[in-house]
Structure 1
Amino acid sequence: MGMGLTSSVNATSPNRKDLSQKDLERVQAITKPTNDFSKAESYENKSAGAPTSKKTISSKSFSHSSANLSFKGERDFKLGNSLFKKIWVSSPSSTKASDGLGPLFNARSCQRCHLQDGRGHPPENNDDLATSMFLRLSVPARTEAEKQAIRTGTLLRIPEPTYGGQLQDQAVTGLPAEGKMLISYEEEVVTLNGGERVSLRKPSYRVDELAYGDMDPDVMLSPRVAPPMIGLGLLEEIHEQDLLSLADPEDRNNDGISGKASLVLNPESGQREIGRFGWKASNRTVHTQSVNAFAGDIGLSTPDIPAHWGDCTSNQPQCLSQPHGSQKNLGDGEAPQKVLDLVVFYSKNLAVPARRNVSAPDVLKGKELFYTSGCTSCHQPKFVTRRDAAQKELAFQLIWPYSDLLLHDMGEGLSDNRQVGNASGNEWRTAPLWGIGLTEKVNGHTYFLHDGRARNLLEAIIWHGGEAQTARDKVVTMSPEERKSLITFLESL
């Protein structure tokens, strides 16, 4: 978020080599930020272009396929859906194509984290399993070699020596889970213009029932709720030059916004590329996001990450002694290439639902407030995807994700004090807003932000700090009627 309409910039770079000059001019015109809030913009209701789902709004609204898929695409989507929902079991098992779970894990299926393909939530109490939320673990880089690996992007973080990269609170029979995440909250009341009071809950995290000894005294804990799955393939097809054109890490235009690209090593090319996925944008592609989730969340090996014991470490010999489910006749890994490819295809083609009420007066008023408060400086409204996209259905689409996919300093209040790659503890990827108004319909809750601390959209806004402080303060000083319009606009996304 930034200082106002002057902070909104065109999301199309003149350096796009996938476009002819004629197409470039056309795309620049259509992605130019609007200053007319008297009516909806052209195609604004189609949040994801031709792939937008127009199906009736329901609890299944995040689970539909891209509307323009071919017959073969629909087939692969359905196959991927079945694998996304598959309940994996521990080895050895009579169901040879489904064993390999764990030995330590957070969920038995992709769907159990990404509930209805939507947003996870923190546990409601200390007896509630945190299936759609977990703790990332790491320790500071201490040796010069570790520090150099972080600087060059060879490593994104240093795992905790015993418990690895994330706390796994479930395990196969006969093996203890690593521990249990416990959350406590402190309430802090903020008074807004007009006398409205908003209570913010500030979370604190600790781990109980550690089964494999003490953690490193310098361990850093960072909570993560599972993000929505919609529109991922389209986000991957935003041209890298369009994202880089929005980055301003030195804030050279002095607008208070200094977004930067997350840079992640591509092991095949040896080059650092833009990260787009995850709360710290630490994954380059839907493919890498998927293989990391298979390994860390479910404990399944893939051709990319052939560790059959998932996140088990050398300090957990009992875990490493467990049988695995890899079978050569089915392919390399417990989730072999065909399985992985179908899950990735499914993940890339979960459709974004169509916008609702785009022409309603209160929605248009809220949209104007969103723009003039500077929110679009980070929540970039629209892009046109690559003309040369790998999947034709995702190519050359006007999309409205309301994100620049860049890292921004969100202030101390939201900091996890934990570096990931070139993202500092204060920095988070701008979360896409498309579909956010359907969270309650799909997932039955309205918990937002990376750890679900915000219980509604207004709380989420008031938590913004750092680069977003100015925009946040404008929301605080709005009249109650204006804030209501702003929320109505967000609920229409």
Structure 2
Amino acid sequence: MSFARASQVAVAGFLLAILFPWMEAGSQIAPPFKAHDPGARKTPSRSGTAFKELPHVEHQLFIDGHRVFNEAASVQGTAPATRSGLGPRFNLDSCGGCHAHPHLGGTSPLVNPQVELATREGATNEIPPFIAVDGPVRVARFKFPQDGKQEDGVQALFTISGRSDAPGCFLQQPNFRRAAALNNLSFRIPTPMFGAGLIEAIDDAAILANMRADSARKFASGIRGRANGAGRPNTNEHDHTVSRFGWKAQVKSIELFVAQAFNVEQGITTDLFPQEVEEAAACRFTMTPESTVHMDAGTPLDALSDVVKASLFVRFLAPPEPLPETDSIVRGRGLFGEVGCAMCHTPMLRTGNVAHPFLRDQEVRLYSDLLLHNMGPGLADDITQGDARGDEFRTAPLWGLSDRFFLLHDGRTKDLVEAITAHAGRGDWRYPASEANESVARFNRLTEIDKQHVLNFLRGL
């Protein structure tokens, strides 16, 4: 080999080593590029702050709500917690335990607080097999009745039995090991709450108009969006308006969402849910409702219940903060629309004429149509909520995806590529095929470089 040729080979090898450091020494051909999930941002965003335009009174309510949202509860309000009413059955002892990352109001943190909570204050709980220190915060449901427990409803992981502030209370946990052996478990992870006030402020008419938009293209791609006979998706059974919160859009408003979480996740009764989920006499240590209006308060703000305060904190949370734009993110956004993902993950809806000026007539860049869609047997959780069937889920808002560790409704993966792949699925005797099949197929036909642009765009939201 000539000196010139040898020099060219050496230079080429040097450049390949810089561009592709994973290559073995002496290799002269780089491995084919494979698109990969860049992962959650290394430095958490500043999400979790209030709207900048909040007036003084609303800002004070936000601060009060922040405290309540983060405050841990104990059974009888003893130190170090000040709020009473925990249990008798519960999943966590504060809203902030579930909604912790990247800041208060977010989603499941990287370290699961449920593991430590299981035995706090001397509690005798066994840690269920699907709960791990490095796994997501989870709640569990039974798919069918077991041990006298109803299906569909949340089966609280823990009880207050054995705790120093619950003397004489003895309750058994649900038999989760038996349920796992029978394939009778369905899981959910917390939904992030940033920008929830904007989502609540979107008019039904805007959601329904978006449902009807581009109908020919949606139909050709197998995308329907769930609607009942009245033409309304996931309507609230009481007033027939559009519900929009929760994995199955089963909850109408922020306050109802928060009150249910107080009741089901922490076991705290409220004015909206005044009865204990578990009414064993030996495990009742406080009067109900435990979170109520304070009639003897010195000021109107102090009179608000904890549920109202926590709800206002959520309502006043600003939307997530995306990463700065790059050429790859811009390219990925265009490809996201071209392959059809934006037909369900609608980039923007607009709020209506609501009372708070900072929520009125605003662009909501949530990347969701807030509708229910069939997602196929692979993602089906076999749980019915409201009008949503076992394979139907609300299009998950993608804003804030840059901060999320755990993906899909049950937190089964941290890998965005796996999450996209899971959206596809053939139908079976129980459920129809996923409405996302055609979009996933188009994504799969992209070059690896273009797939990477889409993944970079998503992780930039």
TM-score by length of 2: 0.72
Match of 2:307 among 340, 345, 370: 340
The residue correspondences of 1:3-402 to structure 2 (distance < 5 A) are: 58-59=43-44, 61-91=46-76, 93=78, 98-115=83-100, 116=103, 117-120=105-108, 128=132, 132-137=137-142, 139=144, 161=149, 165-172=153-160, 173=163, 174-179=169-174, 181=176, 206-207=179-180, 221-247=185-211, 253-260=219-226, 261-266=233-238, 271-307=239-275, 309=276, 311-312=277-278, 317=280, 321-326=283-288, 331=293, 337-358=304-325, 360-386=326-352, 388-402=353-367
* 1:379–1:403 Cα contact (<8 Å) kept: yes
Code of the aligned partner of 2:64: L
Q: Cα deviations across residues 72-107 of structure 1 (Å, max 9, x unaligned)?
A: 221111110000011111037479961111111111
Alpha-carbon offset, residue 222 of structure 1: 2.4
**d(CA) in 2 for partners of 1:431, 1:106:** 23
Distance 1:296 1:131, change over 3 A: farther
* 2:61–2:313 Cα contact (<8 Å) kept: yes
* 1:457–1:487 Cα contact (<8 Å) kept: yes
Code of the aligned partner of 1:79: D
Q: Rg bigger for which structure?
A: 2
Distance 1:397 1:159, change over 3 A: farther
Alpha-carbon offset, residue 434 of structure 1: 0.7
Q: Percent identity?
A: 26
Code of the aligned partner of 1:421: G
* 1:91–1:100 Cα contact (<8 Å) kept: yes
Distance 1:58 1:80, change over 3 A: farther
**d(CA) in 2 for partners of 1:340, 1:118:** 18
The answer on 1:420 being equivalent to 2:424 is no
**d(CA) in 1 for partners of 2:342, 2:289:** 49
**d(CA) in 1 for partners of 2:201, 2:292:** 31
* 2:140–2:157 Cα contact (<8 Å) kept: no
**d(CA) in 2 for partners of 1:170, 1:329:** 21
Q: Cα deviations across residues 203-247 of structure 1 (Å, max 9, x unaligned)?
A: xx9358xxxxxxxx9x96421001111010000111101111233
Distance 1:160 1:450, change over 3 A: farther
Runs (5+) with no aligned partner, structure 1: 1-55, 141-157, 183-204, 209-216, 440-445
**d(CA) in 2 for partners of 1:413, 1:94:** 45
More strand by share: 1
Match of 2:423 among 447, 457, 464: 464
Find the counterpart in structure 1 of residue 455 from structure 2: 487
Q: Cα deviations across residues 23-62 of structure 1 (Å, max 9, x unaligned)?
A: xxxxxxxxxxxxxxxxxxxxxxxxxxxxxxxxx9954623
TM-score by length of 1: 0.68
* 2:291–2:307 Cα contact (<8 Å) kept: no
What is the number of residues matched between the two proteins? Answer: 370
Distance 1:414 1:228, change over 3 A: same
Give the number of the structure with larger relative contact order, counting CA–CA contacts within 8 Å between residues 6 or more apart.
1
**d(CA) in 1 for partners of 2:409, 2:440:** 18
* 1:448–1:454 Cα contact (<8 Å) kept: yes
Runs (5+) with no aligned partner, structure 2: 1-40, 116-128, 164-168, 227-232, 296-301, 425-433
**d(CA) in 2 for partners of 1:404, 1:69:** 27
Q: Which runs of 4+ in 1 moved over 6 A?
A: 121-125, 327-330
**d(CA) in 2 for partners of 1:475, 1:136:** 33
Alpha-carbon offset, residue 256 of structure 1: 1.2
Distance 1:331 1:354, change over 3 A: closer
* 2:350–2:363 Cα contact (<8 Å) kept: yes
Code of the aligned partner of 2:285: P
Q: Tell me which moved more, 73-82 or 220-229.
A: 220-229
